[in-house]
Amino acid sequence: MGLLLRIITKPKWLKPDWMDPEEVPADALTDLRSSQNELSVWSVERDKSNLDTVLVAVGSNRERLDKLDYALFDEDILPAIQIKCTKSEGETPHVIANKVMHRDLVELTAQKVAHLARALMPPTEHVRVSERSLQRLLQNALRDGSLDRSRVVVSMLEKLEH
Amino acid sequence: MSEDFQSQTSQPKYIDPLEELRKSVAVMVFQVVSASSLGAQRGFLRETGESDTRTIELISDSSTKARQITPEIQARLDAMLHAACQQVIEDGKGNAITDQLAELFVKDYNAIVPVLITLIEHGRTLPVIKAEILKELGRIRDVSSHSSRRWILEHALSTSSPFVRDGAGLGLARLGDPAALKYLEKAVQDEPNVEIRSDLQSVVQELKQAVR
């Protein structure tokens, strides 16, 4: 089992002083909004060799260039909180990442999402990719043909190519 | 609730104007502006000196030109904020602020600057909205309002909400102006939150690399 990446907004996970150490800020749950009781995540190798590919997939699927915050957690934690992870096709402009690296956490309940939120709190790694770094990654991916240009939002494509 | 959260998540970083006066090697400028969205009057005390000539320009500019926001712009600003409050604000996703702020700001930045400062410092607007405004201020490409936007962003580095301080750092990263480095470095020193400090430090490094 490898690592799983979930897009978050880092400041939402900051713990206020009044909060008990074991608690999770309620605002963090907005980063775990499920659809059809499922959450989209990405599979990352333990050596992070495919991390940039995943970041390109996620970053290219947006409307605008922006920084990208993510949490990287061990897939091994899922059985303990009774969350199932299944392989499914992603819908980003990165065709290979869609087929190989996309996963869904399925059959979620409110309680399971709360357990997941607790598992995603530090010391789980929360990382920020700056807008400029992401722009470089996306520009390289466009140049080497990793991205299906027809799936990239036009305004984003223009920004990346100028 | 969110205001309580803000006040308890971090220590307010109040800058004593008298202390600033002692440190200053040049001029102190006092500006009273109307903060129209809340109907309040606010005064701004601003240290200027060394390389801060652009700040002097901004303040004198603001004090001689229109101070009252027009009813039309006020209405559009209110509508933008109202719409943003109904939306899910997410990185990389458009929203009312990303769609409308630039046009409104450039139209009459002299009038909007004090309104935004008041909103960011004291408004009951959600921190996520304030942070989005700050991020967007860094994205606007308009030379005439550059100093004003940089000033707002620098100022917001010392607000009480970590979310807003983070937004200020992101806005300055987008603005890409090395003149903000000294404020960012000070913010890194003063930042009580480890995560925010680390992200502000990254902005400092990015700006320094851009200078080289």
Q: Which residue has the higher pLDDT, B204 or B19?
A: B204
Average pLDDT rounded to a whole number, residues A139-148: 97
- Closest-CA residue of A relative to B88 is A30
pLDDT the model gives residue A94: 98
Mean pLDDT of chain B: 76
- Closest-CA residue of B relative to A125 is B195
Select the residue of A16, A18, A66 nearest B91 (Cβ to Cβ): A66
Q: Which residue has the higher pLDDT, B122 or B208?
A: B208
CB within 8 Å: B91 and A62 = yes
Does residue B121 register a pLDDT over 60? yes
pLDDT the model gives residue A1: 81
For residue range A21-71, list pLDDT tens digits in order: 899 999 999 999 999 999 999 999 999 999 999 999 999 999 999 999 999
CB within 8 Å: B206 and A132 = yes
Does residue B21 register a pLDDT over 90? no
Q: Which residue has the higher pLDDT, A17 or A42?
A: A42
Task: For chain B, list residues whose CB is within 8 angstroms of any CB belonging to chain A.
Answer: 5, 8-9, 88, 90-94, 98, 127-128, 131, 135, 162-163, 166, 170, 173-174, 193, 195-196, 199, 202-203, 206
Residue B128, Cβ neighbours under 10 Å: how many? 22
For residue range B27-65, list pLDDT tens digits in order: 233 233 333 333 333 333 333 333 333 333 334 334 444
For residue range B163-175, list pLDDT tens digits in order: 999 999 999 999 9
pLDDT the model gives residue B69: 85
Contacts of A69 in chain B (CB under 8 A): 91
Q: Which residue has the higher pLDDT, B125 or B8?
A: B125
Quickly tell me which residue has 């357990």 as its tokens.
A115
Domain that holds residue A146: 3-161
User: How close, in Å, is residue A127 to chain B by CA atoms?
Assistant: 9
% of chain B residues with pLDDT over 90: 59
pLDDT the model gives residue B67: 60
Contacts of B98 in chain A (CB under 8 A): 64
What CATH number has the domain bearing residue B95?
1.25.10
Q: Is A91 on the interface with B (CB under 8 A)?
A: no
Reading phi first (left if > 0) and then psi (alpha if -120 to 50, else beta), residue A37 is in left
- Closest-CA residue of A relative to B126 is A27
Q: Is A10 on the interface with B (CB under 8 A)?
A: yes
pLDDT the model gives residue A162: 81
CB within 8 Å: B196 and A130 = no
% of chain B residues with pLDDT over 70: 68
Select the residue of B91, B94, B203 nearest A68 (Cβ to Cβ): B91
User: How close, in Å, is residue B5 to chain A by CA atoms?
Assistant: 7
Does residue B17 register a pLDDT over 70? no
Domain that holds residue B85: 2-211
Q: Please state the domain count of chain A.
A: 1
B140 phi/psi in degrees, rounded to 5: -60, 135
CA distances from A14 to A6, A69, B193, B200 (A): 16, 13, 9, 15
Contacts of B201 in chain A (CB under 8 A): none
pLDDT the model gives residue B38: 32
Task: Decide: B94 and A63 in contact? Cβ < 8 Å.
Answer: yes
For residue range A84-143, list pLDDT tens digits in order: 999 999 999 999 999 999 999 999 999 999 999 999 999 999 999 999 999 999 999 999
pLDDT the model gives residue A55: 98
Mean pLDDT of chain A: 96
Does residue A20 register a pLDDT over 50? yes
CB within 8 Å: A11 and B162 = yes
pLDDT the model gives residue A134: 98
Does residue B95 register a pLDDT over 90? yes
- Alpha helices (H) along chain B: 2-9, 17-23, 53-64, 71-86, 96-107, 109-122, 127-139, 146-156, 162-175, 181-190, 194-211
CB within 8 Å: B195 and A126 = yes
Predicted structure pTM score: 0.82
Task: Decide: B13 and A21 in contact? Cβ < 8 Å.
Answer: no
- Record the tokens describing residue A121, joined without a space: 């709190």
Task: Decide: B107 and B73 in contact? Cβ < 8 Å.
Answer: yes
Closest CA to A118 of A22, A53, A39, A49: A22
Contacts of B206 in chain A (CB under 8 A): 130, 132
Quickly state the pLDDT bin for B212 (edges 50, 70, 90). confident
